[in-house]
Amino acid sequence: MTTPLLGQMMDVPLNVSSLVRHAARYAGDTEIVSRRVEGDIHRYTYRDCEKRAKQLAQALIRLGVSPGERIGTLAWNGYRHLEAYYGVTGFGAVCHTINPRLFPEQIAFIINHADDSYVLFDTTFAALVDVVAPQCPKVKGWIALADEAHIPALATPVLSYETLLAAEDGDFEWPVLDERCASNLCYTSGTTGNPKGALYSHRSSVLHAYGASLPDALGLSARDAVLPVVPMFHVNAWGIPHAVALTGAKLVLPGKDLDGKSLHDLMETERVTFSAGVPTVWMCLLQYVRETGKRFSTLERTVIGGSACPPAMLREFEDVYGVRVIHAWGMTEMSPLGTLVRLNWEQSQRPLEERRQLMEKQGAVICGVDMKIVGADGQELPRDGVAFGDLHVRGPWVIDRYFRSEASPLVDGWFPTGDVATIDRDGFLHITDRSKDVIKSGGEWISSIDVENVAIAHPAVAEAACIACAHPKWTERPLLVVVKREGENVTREALLAFYEGKVAKWWIPDDVVFVEQLPHTATGKLQKLKLREMFRDHVLPAEIAGAA
Ligand code: ADP
């Protein structure tokens, strides 16, 4: 056997700290603007950010934190949280972002499971800390992301972040870490069972940042001003805090005010070109601009993901406001980016309606991720845009196993996403459902997402959820639960008639129920499990339109 000829390039490990170091050196004057919980607007640069991240690293080391220890955060999108992203990971500790919108018991479970030694928190979460702290006896200290003057009265003893930083000089070299070391820890939101931890490595985070920045992915550049609405406590804000440093883009962090007016004001004053968030957030923003007659003067593109982007939303952004929507799909277990919609040269020449249909899908993978769909027998299904099955993925930023869990979730080396999808010959992914949400009618599957999208296109509908209702003959039939737009009206019959010609006849819901609001998870997704419980005893009308 011949010995392989090794390459002769530098063996520089991929470390997260290299991103902020790069930004500080080569985009040193570029601004990071934050709306603080204190109420004002804070501005500084990547150079300042790296210095303070180093001060944080020094402060944590002084507190006795060792590499590998987990440091929790309960914080909005803001500059101090960004410092934690770099300061904690930079010396080898693990930045564990916690979703403050979860129930306190879940938060305590997550902190204990992760074994966080310190938790950094925004002062808005002071009351939450007082509830959670007694349940987390192993946490050595709670650090308020504030100066002494802004720390509210708490029962829990707390340290001041600013006081800790003030004691350090920032004269610190980022150590070179093994790129396989853990950098960040994120828990899934636990829509099914207890939350599970995805432990990213320095290598996976840096590769994800490169992949995310590609022109056909987020497509970020130093010409952009980026406002991530997606929270930094939800899957690392889709990797944006890393990708902006890598590209040297201006960063605008909205803090806790995520209502339409606050977001629009910040987008306009900071001349934001790029944003990202889940559909629920954009629903509020669109309602605000619709009602006030406002426009977007600088916003060019926005990434919508986390749940399916309703086609009606895509059209409104593009047709009315001239903002390009990039529909994206991913999950916590994938760091999270998997696919994004990008049309290649040939697809861009197709007629508008065909282009639209492609853009409503979840898009093509970022090079690095591979995907396939499999049937119940585990065999791969054709990539013909028709066959749908369980979606499996693999790649260097896809999870291998959950934190502190021995059992491997992989099937033949692939991660089963729990999503049901088609893949077409262009490689475009179309998510039809979560496997647990799919509606099984007479042995066939109905895509709840497609049924919802039709309803949302109706002018009187603000939000819609389609769930399975038990049926003696067909096993399950679709029930549509609808929230009307304020001041608008539509009847059950009119809404059902609206489906004619838009979906297969047997996909038309059997019944419509109007409600004041729909339940959402902590990450703004429809809580279908809860909805199914709410409507468990719902009786469908005897005459089944769709089953005829
Ligand atoms: P959780 O649902 O536990 O909060 P994630 O936030 O990681 O976990 O969500 C991942 C799931 O969200 C995906 O598996 C998929 O079901 C759904 N999802 C994400 N983006 C999209 C999208 N663009 N279209 C449809 N579903 C999506």
Asked if residues 231 and 255 have their Cβ atoms less than 8 Å apart, the reply is no
Whole-angstrom Cα distance, residue 162 to residue 56?
9
Supply 63's token pair: 């507190």
**CB 421 less than 6 A from any atom of ligand 1:** no
Domains, the chain, ranges and CATH? 18-423 (3.40.50.12780), 437-547 (3.30.300.30)
CA of 329 relative to ligand 1 center, distance in Å: 7
383-410 pLDDT per residue, tens: 999 998 999 999 999 999 999 999 999 9
What one-letter code names the amino acid at 96?
H
Cα–Cα distance, 361 to 339 (Å, whole number)? 10
SS3 396: coil
Contact 99, 187 (CB under 8 A): yes
Q: Would the pLDDT of 541 be above 90?
A: no
* Residues 305-328, mean pLDDT to the nearest whole number: 95
In the predicted structure, residue 546 carries a pLDDT above the cut 50:
no
Starting at the edge strand found earlier in the chain, the sheet holding 337-340 runs: 41-45, 31-35, 250-253, 225-228, 274-277, 301-305, 324-330, 337-340, 364-365
Is residue 119 within 8 Å of residue 111, measured between CB atoms?
yes
Q: Is 440 among the catalytic positions?
A: yes
pLDDT tens for each residue of 150-207: 999 999 999 999 999 999 999 999 999 999 999 999 998 755 567 899 999 999 999 9
pLDDT per residue over 5-27, tens digit each? Answer: 999 999 999 999 999 999 999 99
Q: What is the 3-state composition of the chain as percent helix, strand, coil, each rounded to the nearest 5?
A: 30, 25, 45
395-421 burial string, b = 16+ CB within 10 Å, else e? Answer: bebbbebbbeeeeeeeeeebbbbbbbb
Cβ of 189 less than 6 Å from ligand 1: yes
Q: What is the mean pLDDT of residues 126-132?
A: 98
Distance (Å, whole) CA 280 – CA 491: 24
Q: Is the CB of 336 under 6 A from ligand 1?
A: yes
- Nearest Cα to Cα of residue 186 among 174, 201, 175, 172: 201
- Bridge partner list, 43: 33
pLDDT band at 471 (very low <50, low <70, confident <90, very high): confident
Atom of ligand 1 nearest to the CA of 192: 3
Any ligand 1 atom below 6 A from CB of 306: yes
Q: pLDDT by residue (tens digit) across 234-252?
A: 999 999 999 999 999 999 9
Strand partners, 467: 479
